[in-house]
A and B are shown apart, each in its own frame.
Chain A
Amino acid sequence: MMKATRALISEIFSGSDGPGVRIECASTLRPTPGQYLLAQVESSQQILPVPLFIESFENATLVVPPPVPPEWFPGLELSLRGPLGCGFHLPSAARRLLLTDLGNHHGHRLLSLVNSAGHPLETVLLTDNPPSDLPVEIEVLPPKSLGEILPWADFAAFELPLHQLKSLRGLSGLSSLSEFPVHCEALIDTPLICGGIASCGVCSVRLNHGWALACKDGPVFRLNQLSEDE
């Protein structure tokens, strides 16, 4: 079983969409964008571990966007497992980044791509609910712009629950998900509870050629591999 790393909540900050946290931990714990950590509060009544996606790093501090459990507080010790799963594959040559959030996270989980790129990116975020603290250099457009702007992007990252796949395809104007270019990847918003050790199936994702588990095969998948049908 994967070894756990001890960590400490150093700050609860008020984000535009609820509280986020800063967590101090070993500097080696660095999930790539789209990967996740599982957090457990030791000696608590918390039964299931909490999946955490990182928005940015500040030296040995992880910045975790909302939502986080409301009972967490500064000074609380966590046990972290990970990094887990497969994240985005942002090409080093990419310069025009398209982010689309059709879920409930206001683009926060996708913004780690901007923060970790290591070079300037021209970025557009498609969402109906942008975070109020979004960097000014990121342009915001409504999701209905997808079909028009998709050809502009070198890389497109999406976040959505499975039931929104049809909506996404409709917004794109494409006739099927398999027509999305290979540089389009989607972070599937689904329960991530076992960290891949159980293959319990609650995070099952239908691909064109069979089933996958978001907890270990994802949660990021190439959009043209996903199936709308079950």
Chain B
Amino acid sequence: MNTESSCLDRLEISTPWMNAAGFLGFSPSSPAWPAEMGAFVTNPISLAPRKPALHRQVQPYAGGFLLHTGFPTPGFQAVLRQNVEKWKKLPIPVWAHLLPQTPEEIPGMIETLETIDNIGAVELGIPPGISLHSALDFIRAASGELPLMVCVGVDEIQSDWLPSIRDAGTTGLVLSAPRGILKASDHLMRGRLYGPAVLPLMLKAVCRLAQFDLAVIASGGVFSLADGETLLAAGACAVQVDAALWSNADL
């Protein structure tokens, strides 16, 4: 199990609390926010602009909600133009969440991020459904001077991936929201699942993966301080809060 201080040192953050990518925008809405967080994680950033999903939707269910947005972004250069000055003024480091389509897109983005003040880490979103071999291509392409956090769905990560991910130069593993399918009127809707129902899945994954020498960051299922503390006690080095930030600003 990781001790808290060694975890924070490895991640180069002062507290284990942060937001999940996609839940507070590309910059915080208030310049005063959030001094008590360890880092600010940006919305996913792709190299080229991404349109919203054609059938974007939110679908509540008993354990939370399914969200399908397509992660729209104006593209890497536009995000930098609009946000770099805001990032520099934040009292906490910024983790830039990258959403590449191919490994070839990554090195140029990494080199640019390395020149920007206050970028604390890169969080690399691994496309769903790919093999370990392909995932390692993405990870190696992202190796550079910045700490690298590899972001994989909690429903996709395999234990036997971890030694390879670690040896490829990864600092931390972000376990992100699982994907699911719900029936919505006349069609099946796919998307990411958020809500309290994710917590048991996340806790199980943290318990399973914390034994590896890799900082595990739990990103999902946290809707109270106690939820986050449970994940930390189970071995997570940090926790990322998602939809609770939209409904409970005092969390």
Contacts and interface: CB of A to CB of B under 8 A. Distances in A.
Interface of A: 1-4, 38, 40, 45-49, 81, 191, 193-204, 211, 230
Nearest to A81: B249
A80 to B, nearest CB: 12
A132 B225 CA distance: 47
A197 B25 contact: yes
21 contacts: A1-B249, A4-B249, A45-B196, A47-B60, A47-B194, A47-B196, A48-B58, A48-B60, A48-B65, A49-B246, A81-B249, A193-B58, A195-B246, A196-B29, A197-B24, A197-B245, A197-B246, A198-B245, A200-B23, A201-B72, A202-B58
Contacts of B25: 197-199
A199 B43 contact: yes
B68 to A, nearest CB: 8
A198 B52 contact: no
Interface of B: 22-26, 29-30, 33, 43, 51-54, 56-58, 60, 64-65, 67-72, 194-196, 223, 243, 245-249
B69 A202 contact: yes
Nearest to B223: A47
Contact of A40 (B43, B71, B247): B247
A230 B51 contact: yes
A191 B29 CA distance: 20
Nearest to B194: A47
A166 to B, nearest CB: 15
Contacts of B43: 198-200
Contacts of B57: 191, 202
Contacts of A1: 29-30, 33, 249
A114 to B, nearest CB: 31
Contacts of A230: 51, 54
Given A2-B249, A47-B60, A203-B56, 9 more contacts: A40-B247, A48-B65, A49-B247, A191-B58, A196-B29, A197-B24, A198-B43, A202-B57, A202-B67
Contacts of B248: 40
B70 to A, nearest CB: 6
B184 to A, nearest CB: 12
B159 to A, nearest CB: 30
B250 to A, nearest CB: 8
A134 to B, nearest CB: 29
Contact of B247 (A47, A199, A203): A47
Contacts of A204: 52, 56, 69, 72
A45 B26 CA distance: 28
A194 B246 CA distance: 5
A46 B247 CA distance: 9
Contacts of B54: 230
Given A48-B247, A204-B52, A198 B60 contact: no
Contacts of B58: 48, 191, 193, 202
A81 B58 CA distance: 20
Nearest to B246: A194
Nearest to B61: A47
Nearest to A230: B54
A196 B22 CA distance: 12
A47 B72 contact: no
Nearest to B22: A200
Contacts of A48: 58, 60, 65, 243, 246-247
Counting from the closest, the 9 A-B pairs by CB-CB distance are A204-B52, A201-B72, A201-B69, A199-B25, A191-B58, A201-B52, A40-B247, A1-B249, A197-B29
